[in-house]
Chains A and B, each alone.
Chain A
Amino acid sequence: MDNILLISNLILWVFVIGLTVLVFALTRQIGVLYERVAPAGALMMNKKLETGAPAPKVQVQDINSGNTLTVGETQNRSQLLFFLSPDCPVCKSLLPMLKSIKNAESDWLDVILASDGELQAHKDYIEQHNLSGDTYVSSEILGKQYAVSKLPYAVLIDDKGLIASLGLVNSREHFESLFESMERGIPSLQAYMAAASTPIIHDPQQA
């Protein structure tokens, strides 16, 4: 009997230590998870434009309808400029999302697809991706005025013609962050995280 108790005790010790190791590993993983799920946002990297500043007004022509319109002149509606290129795979993957944004927010938002380069390439692209119902403009000046250096890039202009938010967008979260920052009046996720980072002293490696 004594022997049984001794053996059972030993086994239990091994189990208890094993379980505490396991609990520690789990809490570590939860910590890592919390760090990872910190919100993703569109990277703002534009030296020319600032949020809150008036959007540059550029006259462009819609390839689909042939109408001319002025980017930056919003007439009580907001504009979402999406800069893309026919040979940018990420842009392609975002098109369905843009369509759903366009449909869902049509009462206050105009979505404008913008690119530059050869007209025929754009016409093929429109056909391929069924974009004939969208506003699609091709203008080199537009890209220059909005200082677009990397694609896909998006600029949200509010109903007063001011730049609400802008940035490199690669995913749904990035698009959401553009609308979010317009609602909250915070220029970018970087600005938000800089203001929210908690400890007064933090890891120099993370800084």
Chain B
Amino acid sequence: MLLTVLATISTLLLSYLFVVGGWQKLADLAYFQDVITEYRILPASWSPWLARALPIVEIGAGLALLVPALQLAALATVALLLAGYTFAMALNITRGRRDLDCGCAGPGQEQTISGWLLGRNLVLISLALLAVPALQQHSLGWAGWSLALLGTTVLALLYHVFNQLIANNNLLRRIARHG
């Protein structure tokens, strides 16, 4: 029961994050395309194509997480996507390009790539992997579902708090450089 509730929370949380994240990327395609080019990993000519494909895959996987029959495949997709993003960020951090915009959310968020974002992605990947074995062991009653929904709400909010703190940290660093 407990494991199933936790697994449901991870699944719902990932679903929310991917649908919202994909939507934000679709809403500003030109921006996201620039971000992909700036990562300087794949040929720049692929960027327009990737900028359209990635958000659609994200939204698709996010929605598929809610369908029991597709959950396993969706979790695998999510974990792969996250691993890919994490690799791209880690590569650019080792290149010393720490002031690269991560492009995780929309253009409003001034989030540059950092160890914190790598850590965040690793936590999300583990959530996806931990959800797998516990899936479909029990069926949740209404109480289980309410718990899962409440838990997801809190975690989603905390996720936004965490992102905001990372963005704040960047702003603070910019001010501190004046002193």
Report yes or no: B157 in contact with A27, Cβ–Cβ below 8 A.
Answer: no
**Distance in angstroms between the alpha carbons of A42 and B155 in the assembled complex:** 44
Chain B residue nearest to A24 in the complex (CB): B161
Chain A residue nearest to B111 in the complex (CB): A199
Hey, which chain B residues are within 8 Å of A35, CB to CB?
A: 171
> How many residues of B are in contact with the other chain, CB < 8 A?
32
CB distance from B116 to the nearest CB of A (A): 14
Q: Mark A186-207, 1 if CB is under 8 A from B, else 0.
A: 0000001000111111111100
Report yes or no: A38 in contact with B164, Cβ–Cβ below 8 A.
Answer: no
**Distance in angstroms between the alpha carbons of A198 and B34 in the assembled complex:** 16
Report yes or no: B168 in contact with A27, Cβ–Cβ below 8 A.
Answer: yes
Chain A residue nearest to B110 in the complex (CB): A199
> How many residues of A are in contact with the other chain, CB < 8 A?
27
Chain B 156-177 interface residues, beta-carbon cutoff 8 Å to A: 157-158, 160-161, 164-165, 167-168, 170-175, 177
A contact face: mostly helix, strand, loop, or mixed: helix
Tell me if B108 is interfacial: C-beta within 8 Å of chain A: yes
Binding site for A on B (CB under 8 A): 31, 34-35, 38, 97, 99-101, 103, 107-108, 110, 112, 150, 153-154, 157-158, 160-161, 164-165, 167-168, 170-175, 177-178
Query: Told that A34-B168, A199-B99, A202-B107 touch, could you supply 15 new A-B pairs with CB distance under 8 A?
Result: A21-B157, A23-B161, A24-B157, A24-B164, A38-B175, A198-B110, A198-B170, A199-B112, A200-B100, A201-B31, A201-B34, A201-B38, A201-B103, A201-B107, A205-B107
Cross-chain pairs A/B with CB under 8 angstroms, 5 sampled: A20-B157, A35-B171, A38-B175, A39-B175, A199-B101
